[in-house]
């Protein structure tokens, strides 16, 4: 009897133990689902170095699709060689809508009238637009006197894309082995230097920054000192762009430039950044800055978001300052050297 009782108790204990184990084994399974997305990996990835790779296989033509769309009607005239008045009207309307400006439009039309279109209208428009673009060098210079550090200053009104452009350039140049320092010279808002610091972190670039309201010239001065001490190649200096009609801003830019150009620094480029979506307003901004800032080249941003791509032509024809870079998106690799032929073909090629 006692043996039987012991066996029964042992069996009961075994069953209860088994059930407990099963339920214990099940419990973690039950809670595993909500715990699975715990973002420990994501968090450490973000902190370390988020990937800058984007799936950008799109062509220039597709990036410029809105501007390209404006030229659809010219493209459809294609190989017409006998110029009818209504065809010239179409060309005129399309050129004006694309924002190449009145002067360029008139010149293209008079070229068409005088020379005709022996190889077809599209070919003639392409040649005339290309002839309106600058023949000045579009190289970005880093060549300095011995022992000095090249500085590129980025100027332009608020929101045009200065900080983003600096981030993109840092990304590309660091990837090709250059050593760069970013100077957070927009001290107007703390968020501006944080934005630059983020780009610095993403591309693995040193950033010199100061507190909100600090003297931007001293930030640039410190960045040049740091680059010089470490034997770096280039300083990319951000600036504030609050208001292009404010003479204070232009005075401040002149001061930053003086400081940046003092040994061991040497300003080799002053790049005016312009937002292509502002169309003819861009022309007014260009005028203001050219007068004050010794601009050596233009960066035209946001060409992906506008049908007014012709503004490139208007700017170059009006001012003779070459567009050196164009922005075609918000990603790190959406900045390319401006190539007139590739650009005009992206708009006009069938
Ligand atoms: N679509 C598009 N957006 C851009 C481009 N360049 C800059 N941006 C955006 O424009 C906004 C302002 O840029 P930011 O660099 O802060 O301008 P900043 O005030 O001149 O420094 C940001 O949202 C950028 O992502 C571009 O080429 N294409
Ligand atoms: Mg900025």
Between 222 and 17, residue with greater pLDDT: 222
Protein residue closest via CA to atom 17 of ligand 1: 161
Domain residue limits, the chain: 60-132, 149-295
- Which among 54, 60, 161, 253 is the best mutation to test ligand 1's pocket, defined by most ligand atoms within 8 Å of the CB? 161
- Whether the predicted pLDDT of 34 surpasses 50: no
Q: Which residues contact 23 (CB under 8 A, 6 or more apart)?
A: none
Minimum-distance ligand 1 atom for the alpha carbon of 156: 20
Ligand 2: centre distance to CA 310 (Å): 25
168 CA to centre of ligand 1 in angstroms: 11
- What's the pLDDT tens digit per position in 281-312? 888 888 888 877 899 999 999 999 999 999 99
Mutate to test the pocket of ligand 1, among 63, 153, 164, 241 (most ligand atoms within 8 A of CB): 164
Query: What is the 327 CA–ligand 2 centroid distance (Å)?
Result: 15
| Alpha carbon of residue 326 to chain centroid | 7
pLDDT, mean of residues 59-73: 95
Given a cut of 60, is residue 45 above it in pLDDT?
Answer: no
Residues 154-190: tens digit of each pLDDT: 999 999 999 999 999 999 999 999 999 999 999 988 9
Instruction: For ligand 1, say whether the CB of 306 is within 6 Å of any of its atoms.
Output: no
- Does residue 302 line the site of ligand 1, with CB under 6 A? yes
Pick the CATH number of 149-295 from 3.40.50.300, 1.10.3090.10, 3.40.1480.10, 3.30.110.30: 3.40.50.300
Q: How confident is the model at residue 192 (pLDDT cuts 50, 70, 90)?
A: very high
Among protein residues, the one whose CA lies closest to atom 6 of ligand 1: 161
- With CA atoms as reference, report the closest residue to 167 among 258, 103, 248, 238: 238
The percent of residues above 90 in pLDDT, for the chain, comes to 69
For ligand 1, is residue 275 a contact (CB within 6 Å)?
no
* CA dihedral for 214, 216, 221, 224, sign (positive or negative): positive
Indicate whether residue 158 lines ligand 1 (CB < 6 A). yes
Interval 256-280 mean pLDDT: 95
Atom of ligand 1 nearest to the CA of 329: 28
Using 50, 70 and 90 to split pLDDT, how confident is the model at 260? Answer: very high
User: Is residue 283 a contact partner of residue 100, using CB atoms and an 8 Å limit?
Assistant: no
Same fold yes or no, 60-132 and 149-295: no
DSSP lists the bridge partners of residue 335 as 327
What's domain 60-132's architecture? Up-down Bundle (1.20)
Q: What integer pLDDT is reported at residue 138 of this predicted model?
A: 97
Model pTM score: 0.84
Q: What is the 3-state secondary structure (H, E, C) of the chain?
A: CHHHHHHHHHHHHHHHHHHHHHHHHHHHHHHHHHHCCCCHHHHHHHHHCCCCCCCCCCCHHHHCHHHHHHCHHHHHHCCCCCCCHHHHHHHHHHHHHCCCCHHHHHHHHHHHHHHCCCCCHHHHHHHHHHHHCCCCCCCCCCCCCCCCEEEEEEECCCCCCHHHHHHHHHHHHHHCCCCEEEECCCCCCHHHHHHHHHHHHHHCCEEECCCCCCCHHHHHHHHHHHHHHHCCCEEEECCCCCCCCCHHHHHHHHHHHHHHCCCCEEEEEEEEEEEHHHCCHHHHHHHHHHHHHCCCEEEEECHHHCCCCCHHHHHHHHHCCCEEEEECCCCCCCEEECCHHHHHHHHHCC
Query: For ligand 1, atom 4, which residue shows the shortest CA distance?
Result: 330
Per-residue pLDDT for 62 more than 90? Answer: yes
pLDDT confidence of 46, banded at 50, 70, 90?
very low
> pLDDT value at position 287?
86
- Residue 247: per-residue pLDDT: 63
**pLDDT tens track for 307-341:** 999 999 999 988 889 999 999 999 999 999 999 99
With a 6 Å cutoff on the Cβ, whether 331 touches ligand 1 is no
pLDDT of residue 37: 36
Structure tokens at 104: 């360029």
Asked if the model's pLDDT at residue 60 lies above 90, the reply is: yes
Q: For 87-143, how does the pLDDT look when each residue is reduced to its tens digit (9 = 90+)?
A: 999 999 999 999 999 999 999 999 999 999 999 999 999 999 999 999 999 999 999
Residue whose C-alpha is closest to residue 242's, from 233, 234, 252: 252
The ligand with the least distance to the CA atom of 196 is: 2
């Amino acid at each position: 009897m006692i043996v039987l009782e012991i066996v029964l108790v042992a069996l009961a204990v075994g069953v209860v133990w088994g059930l407990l184990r099963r339920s214990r084994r099940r419990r973690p399974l039950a809670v595993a689902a909500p715990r699975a997305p715990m973002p420990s990996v994501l968090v450490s990835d973000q902190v370390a170095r988020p990937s800058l790779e984007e799936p950008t296989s799109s062509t220039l033509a597709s990036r410029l699709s809105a501007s390209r769309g404006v030229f659809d009607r010219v493209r459809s005239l294609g190989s017409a060689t006998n110029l009818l008045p209504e065809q010239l009207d179409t060309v005129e309307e399309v050129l004006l809508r694309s924002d190449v400006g009145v002067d360029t439009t008139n010149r293209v039309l008079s070229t068409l009238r005088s020379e005709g279109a022996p190889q077809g209208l599209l070919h003639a428009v392409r040649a005339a637009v290309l002839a309106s673009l600058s023949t000045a060098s579009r190289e970005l210079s880093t060549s300095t006197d011995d022992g000095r550090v090249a500085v590129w200053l980025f100027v332009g009104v608020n929101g045009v894309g200065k900080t983003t452009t600096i981030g993109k350039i840092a990304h590309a140049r660091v990837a090709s082995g250059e050593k760069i320092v970013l100077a957070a010279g927009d001290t107007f808002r703390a968020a501006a230097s944080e934005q630059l610091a983020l780009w610095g972190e993403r591309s693995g670039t040193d950033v010199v920054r100061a507190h909100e309201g600090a003297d931007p010239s001293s930030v640039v001065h410190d960045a040049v000192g740091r680059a010089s001490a470490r034997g770096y190649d280039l300083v990319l200096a951000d600036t504030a762009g609050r208001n292009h009609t404010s003479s204070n801003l232009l005075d401040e830019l002149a001061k930053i430039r003086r400081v940046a150009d003092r040994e061991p620094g040497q300003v080799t480029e002053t790049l005016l950044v312009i937002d292509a979506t502002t169309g003819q307003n861009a022309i007014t901004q260009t005028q203001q800055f050219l007068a004050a800032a010794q601009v050596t080249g233009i960066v035209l941003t946001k060409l992906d978001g506008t049908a007014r791509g012709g503004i490139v032509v208007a700017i170059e024809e009006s001012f003779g300052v070459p567009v050196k870079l164009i922005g075609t998106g918000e990603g790190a690799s959406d900045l390319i050297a401006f190539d007139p032929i590739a650009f005009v073909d992206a708009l006009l090629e069938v």
